[in-house]
Structure 1
């Protein structure tokens, strides 16, 4: 059974002391601020969420999505915090708002490691490492676990790398967030080589820790006393992670259909019907709203409020099961309305995610990312050969190597410089990736 006194650790990764819990500005509130003011977070404003950025100035980007998820997460966290304090922490200095800040901070960062062009960008990176042009020999010298890190590339694992290594205190704690927030951020607390995740464990569906950050997460898991599953590097989730996942799922389920309607890909009747079924009955003042677009926005707000209440109740009922590491699935799909969310997902797949304009954007994204990966790999390979035996570098490679921080000034292992490539590419905005592509191709 996990212990809330340990799960709420205010110790910061990269520091050797705990921050005091102050009523005016808690360590978890500071975590939110550190994420918001980071360059990695700002870059989310120019990264695809569902719809490509050029389609409309209305629809969500990764930045607006993350802010909305954080807003929902703050409410879920505060609701859960009151329950947890009443049950376990009556004599502590914690307030419900502290739990809201932890969940909100993790929500703000939940997409911070995603590459350009949405989840499709992750698929391209995975494929490039495993089956892309000239893939033979690409991962020579790497062990099995390191190879899996690339061939199963995950934005979630990259996000943990951003938070703990690549931002601010580079290689010395990153943003130096509290262990509580970092643990809550970790949606998939396992490595890429866990062969048989526990049945029904949402935290085992993907991996969230690369070999390069494994020691860091082991330290965090020890501090929080997360439950280890077997002997593998595989743990039960931090209980508050389920609230981060629920906040993301709520926003996806409700907001995607609102965006789909406003882009003309879903009609009014089907959008209204889905939202009404989530609510169960029309809101009291619904008839007073006349404009169809405003009606859908009004229903979206009411749906989110209803789902926050329902998910909070589910967490309250399942808290002991979650603390024991025995909870199965995710919170939202324990809802009485679970079938509706499956319908929404199927509808979005059919009418939004597979829309011709999105498919065309993905084709362009594939060409851009493959070109960048090929060019940066060739440059780093030239540098590796030059370091090994003095083989003269291609002048183009010499120029490209100047783009990497200290990339042309030190000898690095194959694993490290491949990480440098994925760090650089996944950190790009959509627009910057397009610009780099054009410059590499010599397109004015």
Structure 2
């Protein structure tokens, strides 16, 4: 059974001792938050698709604004449950509710840093390149089964863990607690017998390259281990809150964005939000608000607050099961508003996520990412692993890579590491930089 004293460890990779911040007003977990918000992967989220790719309306969310909102909700969830946990555990007097809020807030802030350009279709585009592009097939023979599986099932969550744990001497060096709370899927891509009833095994949380890093995190915190041979663990309890914060935000905010774009009517948006509020919905109060946009904004704010309290209550009701590793469901599937959220999800798929403007940009994203991967990976593999076919074209393309990527490729120890450096580079691109690079390389635009 897991215990909160170990789970809230402020130790960092490379320094397994508990740290004490030199500033008593700034905890190690708050330092994590600050390090993430000033990092390049987080900054790049300002020009990455949330739902509506390359939005030209100022009220549509990007990955950056979405992540800030998820972090805000996550902090509230963490503080709510933290206050109850501390009240019930005398031995946790060294912690405060703000520590729990800071861990969840930091992990939630980083939850999308591994997502490539063009939203979730970007993940599929990377996987599709390795699965279906004939030029990628020759790479397969140079990789192990585990390494190949990481590529054909490319996962933004694993890419995020990689970014947060790379270059530990000069990198972010986050606490073990924040890294574990970030990891919603504490297993590898090659887990042979996934338990489909467990939400934490729906996807995977780390690449083969970072397997030993995650094992260190899990062992330091005392996460429940299900299968030692496969390194399969239970989630850090606070990962459930990070997931819930994301679920709450995209459910409600995507509805608001859909209304702003004219894909959802005012009446439809109001009905969903009113249903979440239940007895807290007072239609007469809306009469004093001038615009429909402001009315939806007010309802959205109260709905999110309602969902935060419902989710906190569910977490505490299942705390013992969570600490045993026996609980493995989405918290938002068990709250009073779960039925409404499920209907809202189905509605959003039809009216928002499958709208023509979304599908058109996703289709363009597949072309852009496939084109970039094909050009850069072919150039890299000819340079390092098939020199006789390293042409002038390959040399020109290789020189387009940033100097820091070229430096890392010079030190790559295997074809697998070389591929990961290229997927690091392309998944780290913003939507506009990916489009610009693709247009230049294909001769579409030289401006």
Equivalent residue in structure 1 for 2:254, among 241, 253, 256: 256
Corresponding residue for 1:175?
172
Corresponding residue for 2:392?
395
Per-residue Cα deviation, 1:56-91 (whole angstroms, up to 9, x for no partner): 121100000000000000000001111111122455
Corresponding residue for 1:205?
202
Quick check: 1:301 aligned with 2:314?
no
Number of residues of Structure 1 aligned to a counterpart in Structure 2: 437
**TM norm structure 1:** 0.95
Per-residue Cα deviation, 1:249-268 (whole angstroms, up to 9, x for no partner): 00011111000000000011
Question: How has the CA–CA distance of structure 1 residues 91 and 312 changed in structure 2, closer, same or farther, with 3 Å as cutoff?
Answer: closer
Corresponding residue for 2:375?
375
Distance 1:54 1:102 in 2: 31
Corresponding residue for 2:224?
227
Corresponding residue for 1:149?
150
Corresponding residue for 2:2?
2
Distance 2:247 2:150 in 1: 25
Distance 1:214 1:431 in 2: 32
Question: How has the CA–CA distance of structure 1 residues 408 and 175 changed in structure 2, closer, same or farther, with 3 Å as cutoff?
Answer: closer
Corresponding residue for 1:422?
423
Distance 1:422 1:171 in 2: 20
Question: How has the CA–CA distance of structure 1 residues 242 and 149 changed in structure 2, closer, same or farther, with 3 Å as cutoff?
Answer: same
Quick check: 1:384 aligned with 2:374?
no
Distance 2:75 2:306 in 1: 15
Corresponding residue for 2:212?
215
Quick check: 1:194 aligned with 2:191?
yes
Deviation of 1:328 (Å): 3.3
Per-residue Cα deviation, 1:137-195 (whole angstroms, up to 9, x for no partner): 22212111111111110000000000000xxxx25473100001001001100001112
2:200 and 2:328 in contact (8 A); partners too: no
- 3-state secondary structure, aligned to 2:406: coil
Single out whichever of 340-349 and 64-73 deviates more from structure 2.
340-349
Quick check: 1:135 aligned with 2:136?
yes
Corresponding residue for 2:290?
290
Quick check: 1:54 aligned with 2:51?
no
Distance 1:269 1:290 in 2: 16
Corresponding residue for 2:86?
85
- 3-state secondary structure, aligned to 1:196: coil
1:401 and 1:407 in contact (8 A); partners too: no
2:52 and 2:357 in contact (8 A); partners too: no
Question: How has the CA–CA distance of structure 1 residues 408 and 52 changed in structure 2, closer, same or farther, with 3 Å as cutoff?
Answer: closer
Corresponding residue for 2:235?
237
Deviation of 1:286 (Å): 3.2
Question: How has the CA–CA distance of structure 1 residues 137 and 417 changed in structure 2, closer, same or farther, with 3 Å as cutoff?
Answer: same
Single out whichever of 98-107 and 139-148 deviates more from structure 2.
139-148
Corresponding residue for 2:117?
116
Corresponding residue for 2:34?
33
Per-residue Cα deviation, 1:12-50 (whole angstroms, up to 9, x for no partner): 123354311664110000000000000110000000000
Deviation of 1:289 (Å): 1.8
Deviation of 1:442 (Å): 1.6
Deviation of 1:115 (Å): 0.2
Distance 1:181 1:411 in 2: 28
**Displacement over 4 Å in runs of 4+:** none
Distance 1:173 1:235 in 2: 28
Question: How has the CA–CA distance of structure 1 residues 230 and 412 changed in structure 2, closer, same or farther, with 3 Å as cutoff?
Answer: closer
Single out whichever of 18-27 and 314-323 deviates more from structure 2.
18-27
Distance 2:210 2:94 in 1: 32
Unaligned runs of at least 5 residues, structure 1: none
- 3-state secondary structure, aligned to 2:333: helix
1:67 and 1:108 in contact (8 A); partners too: yes
Q: RMSD between aligned alpha carbons? A: 1.6
Corresponding residue for 1:339?
339
